[in-house]
Amino acid sequence: MTVTTDTNTRIADLRAAATEAAVTATATDRTRAGSAAPDLPFDVVPLSGNIGAELRGLDLRTLDDAQIAAIRSAWLHYKVVFFPGQDLTPSEHLAFARRFGEPTEGHPVIPGLADQPEVFEIDYSAARQLAAAYGKIGGISRGLHWHTDVTFVQRPPLGSILRAVVVPAAGGDTLFSNQEAALADLSPALQGFLGTLTAVHDGEDQFRAILDLVGEGHWEGKSFTRLESVEHPVVRTHPETGRRSLFVNPGFTTRIKELEIAESDALLAFLYQHSVSPEFTVRYHWQPGTVAFWDNRATQHAVTGDFGDAHRVIQRVTLRGDEPR
Ligand code: SIN
């Protein structure tokens, strides 16, 4: 190809425009983990460049208000924090959760523990038996089943607090992905477009079989026999930090309302892949008793399906959230 003076001028113009766009993006939304790490009165061990930290040397049963405030600021910054070396009972787990908000029902469809209904247990062996008997249900995927907790309701939980109860001898790690970093990594043009879109979220596919089995679900004090789909913005603004994040997940998002089905499928497939790119994630290896607390407004997570038939049990408390905006 002969490169003419006109072509050279055009290339120079394009380079200048690209540089300007990159500078603008850097100045606005292309920050990664976001604000500077807070100065905290306990040991903090960051686990990746973008998300996750261990907070060490704390006993979650005996925290004062200043420690709770410091944990909240670490949680907002790191998006998922882990507390190794804990040994909580379900009621101590619930008491710790109450320091950060109001616990929800254990799960909209799956009943919680008999004597502690706000505590939702997943015994992965029992889930497999249920799946064998009743077909596809949530939480049994052998592969990576990325999701954000309970986005198929109008007000999804603001955060989840998980206690590792039975940990397999090998495998069973959980991955978390930072959805603010995932959004910030996209071009300003795509970020702008995504900000105009609405996504439909639906729990029917995953939970219909269990809902039929248990008869009725419960959320925010109301009972229901079928799950209605809900709509949330594709990009949400965090009510505490003001930061924007991607808010679609392959667990529950079924389509983008404003687009044709083929367009919606293609865009969601791209976002699902992009939003869990390794650079936005952390992988956590559990020890029995470890507690994790994640910000459900800015993350997705997935359990690795690599523990064969080994026993794995977690208990989880979720905190009441607001309507994503
Ligand atoms: C969950 O999806 O909330 C459970 C995560 C886990 O079992 O590690």
Based on the fold, state whether residues 78 and 119 are members of the same structural domain: yes
Tell me if 238 sits within 8 A of 245, measured CB to CB: yes
Residue 324 lies in a domain: no
Residue 245 Cβ contacting ligand 1 at under 6 Å: no
Give residue 288 CA to ligand 1 midpoint distance, Å. 14
Q: Are residues 85 and 212 in the same domain?
A: yes
The answer to whether position 36 is within a domain reads no
Q: Is residue 37 part of a domain?
A: no
Is 80 a domain residue?
Answer: yes
Q: At what angle do helices 204-214 and 124-134 cross, to 10 degrees?
A: 90
Residue 2 lies in a domain: yes
Kindly state the percentage of the chain with pLDDT values over 90: 78
* pLDDT at residue 5 in the model: 45
Instruction: Say if ligand 1 is within 6 A of residue 314 CB.
Output: yes
**Residue range 275-284, pLDDT digits in tens:** 999 999 999 9
CA dihedral over 34, 39, 42, 45, signed as positive or negative: positive
- Do 94 and 217 belong together in one domain? yes
Per the structure, the complete domain to which residue 21 belongs is given by 1-30
Distance 36 CA to ligand 1 centre (A): 28
Q: Are residues 119 and 248 in the same domain?
A: yes
Domain at 105, CATH number: 3.60.130.10
From CA 317, how far away is CA 161, in angstroms rounded? Answer: 5
The reply to whether 214 and 116 lie within a common domain is yes
Residue 37 has a pLDDT of 85
Q: Which atom of ligand 1 is nearest to the CA of 145?
A: 2
Residues of the chain falling short of pLDDT 70? 1-34, 130-143
User: Is residue 35, in this structure, part of any structural domain at all?
Assistant: no
* pLDDT tens by residue, 232-243: 999 999 999 999
Q: What is the pTM of this model?
A: 0.87
- As a whole number of angstroms, the distance between CA 165 and CA 264 comes to 39
Q: Which ligand 1 atom lies nearest to the CA of residue 124?
A: 7
Residues 218, 93 share a domain: yes
- 314: its two tokens: 């977690």
pLDDT of residue 142: 52
Segment 5-34, tens digit of pLDDT: 454 444 444 444 433 433 333 333 333 445
Count the domains in the chain.
Answer: 2
